[in-house]
Structures are given as structure tokens and as C-alpha cells.
Amino acid sequence: MPRLLVVHHTPSPALQAVLEAVREGVALVDDVELTVRPALSAGAADLLAADGVLLGTPANIGYMSGALKHFFDTVYYPCLDATAGLAFGVYVHGNDDTAGALRSIERITGALRWKQVAAPLSLTGAPGPADLEACRELAATVAVSL
């Protein structure tokens, strides 16, 4: 059974709602094992055991969260060759802008040679019903790609 790892930093109620929508989206796909790890506790073993990864972060001062950056710093060298081609997706939530966070994630995932299987999801402000549906669709799209 394919395994999807969700690595997230969820410090706010808005991001908690997004994470729950992600869980719901994965649940719509049959035969996918879901593992959800906070970015500060996810590591190389989690990533190496996964067939794909969905990354979630707030946009903080034009960058991904320090927690997600810590995850990348932790897994980069141990997983560099072993995860080339890994399917991934990403969602970013910010109050008004997510471009810098998305750009930084794109740089790192590009250096890791991961394969983006869904368009990045950029959310600003309080997530409404359409935003949460987009989160479900993102998660399902990544899960189906495995």
C-alpha cells in the first residue's frame, strides 16, 4: 500500500483547519496509508518510508516556517539520493503573501530532485469553504499519484 507522509507546521487555528481538510482529502482515496508528522519531529526515517510527501507551512516574513526549514535541514543529506523523484505537494498559508515561502520550498525540493505532482496551494487570510475544499483536492491528488 502506498504511504503518504504529511509534514506540517500547524501553529494556528487556520492551519489546523487546513490540516484537517488534508486528512479528509487523503481519506477519500482508497488504499493509501497516511502518516502525519509535525515538521519538528519528522525525520529521515519518516521520509525514507514514504512514497510521497505533502508539505504544509505558514508563510512567515516571506519564508517557510523555521520548523519546515528544520525538517529540510535534517533530511537533506541523508535522503538526497534515496528520495530523488519522490512525489510531493505543498500548501502554504499566510496572512497576505505566500510567494517567498513557495519559492524557498521550490528551491529545496528542486535540489532534492522531487517531483511535484500537484500545483502548490497558496492560501491567504482565514480559510473559507472553497479553500478547505482545495486542500482536500490537493491531498487527494497527491495520494492518487502514489
Residue 107: per-residue pLDDT: 98
Domain ranges of the chain: 3-144
Residue 144: per-residue pLDDT: 97
Residue 124: per-residue pLDDT: 95
Q: What is the DSSP letter of 112?
A: H
Closest C-alpha among 15, 57, 16, 50 to residue 35: 50
Residue 6: per-residue pLDDT: 98
Cβ atoms within 10 A of the Cβ of 23, count?
15
Residue 87: per-residue pLDDT: 98
Domain 3-144 sits in CATH at: 3.40.50.360
Phi-psi region of 62 (alpha: psi -120 to 50; beta: other; left: phi over 0): left
Q: What is the pLDDT of residues 103-137, one digit of tens each?
A: 999 999 999 999 999 999 999 999 999 999 999 99
Q: What is the DSSP letter of 104?
A: H
Mean pLDDT, range 32-40, rounded to an integer:
98
Residue 11: per-residue pLDDT: 97
pLDDT band for position 24 (cuts 50, 70, 90):
very high
Q: What is the pLDDT of residues 42-82, one digit of tens each?
A: 999 999 999 999 999 999 889 999 999 999 999 999 999 99
Contact (CB, 8 A) for 68 and 37: no
- Cα(36)–Cα(39) distance, integer angstroms: 9
Calculated CA dihedral for residues 23, 28, 34, 38, nearest 10 degrees: -10
In Å, how far from its chain's centre is CA 62?
17
